[in-house]
Amino acid sequence: MAGTVEPYLDSLRRELQSPGPAALSVLLALLVVALTFLLWRLAQGARSTRRAVLLLGLCDAGKTLLFARLLTGRYRDTQTSITDSSAVYRVSNDKGTNVTLIDLPGHESLRLQFLERFKAAARAIVFVVDSVAFQREVKDVAEFLYQVLVDSTVLKNAPPLLIACNKQDVTMAKSAKLIQQQLEKELNTLRVTRSAAPTSLDASATGGPAQLGKKGKDFDFSQLPMKVEFVECSARGSKGEEGDADFEDLEKWLAKIA
């Protein structure tokens, strides 16, 4: 092997010792490769330090029960959270990887405050939607999701996003497909109205809020820098409090992003 490689090494040494354009090309190519590798390692290192999976959503979407079910498998009565809860969750994959689940309050006066605190650590985001109340809450759900999606840190880190359409055990629950279509429509409307609104002096100085999706096209989730997926689930489960939760697709997603 050494005898095979040595002629190429000798050729490279001669090229580098000569002042011609070929040597400059070799040096430039090596520099580009080294810089690309360095940037890739830095990006991988930054992502590996982000171990939090944030559970977001409006009040009563079922975030806290989902959090408890994932950790213990058991049903428990919950109430509206006014602070965050976190715990280590061992995902179901061959690597036995751990992530930190963080359940954030959904109250309007608290949710952005807690998002600000934890967003930089987010490896992924689970946005929980109440599929039963969705038709009534669609504007509020879209408003909060819009605020998450245009956040500069979220856009920069682009953590995978899962829209968990919860409470599918209830007959009147809306499907994930319908929820996706309605959210895309509402987010498109929000984008239009926000872009038409007057910009403050402070916002002008910092470039204003980020543009959601592609300019000139109706919004859809494929336009975002992060991968967005939808799943149907039920933290309560089809058999009620005594049965298991129905969130196999959520568990598979957590194993994948970990």
Per-domain residue ranges of the chain: 52-170+212-257
Q: Which of 88-97, 132-141, 214-223, 224-233 has the lowest mean pLDDT?
A: 88-97
d(CA 134, CA 128): 11
First to last CA, the chain: 40
- As a whole-number percent, the residues of the chain with pLDDT over 70 amount to 76
pLDDT category, 220, cuts 50, 70, 90?
A: very high
pLDDT of residue 203: 46
d(CA 133, CA 130): 6
- Going by C-alpha positions, the residue among 229, 250, 228 that lies closest to residue 70 is 250
126-173 per-position pLDDT tens digit: 999 999 999 999 999 999 999 999 999 999 999 999 999 999 999 999
54-92 per-position pLDDT tens digit: 999 999 999 999 999 999 999 998 888 899 999 999 987
pLDDT of residue 161: 98
- Going by C-alpha positions, the residue among 252, 148, 254 that lies closest to residue 210 is 148
d(CA 165, CA 128): 6
The pTM assigned to this predicted structure is 0.78
| pLDDT at residue 41 tops 80 | no
166-204 per-position pLDDT tens digit: 999 999 999 999 999 999 999 999 999 988 776 554 444
112-126 per-position pLDDT tens digit: 999 999 999 999 999
The average confidence (pLDDT) of the chain is: 85
CATH of region 52-170+212-257, choose from 3.40.1440.10, 3.30.420.40, 3.10.105.10, 3.40.50.300: 3.40.50.300
In degrees rounded to 5, what are phi and psi of residue 123?
-80, -30
pLDDT of residue 49: 76
H and E: helices and strands count for the chain? 9, 6
| pLDDT at residue 37 tops 70 | no
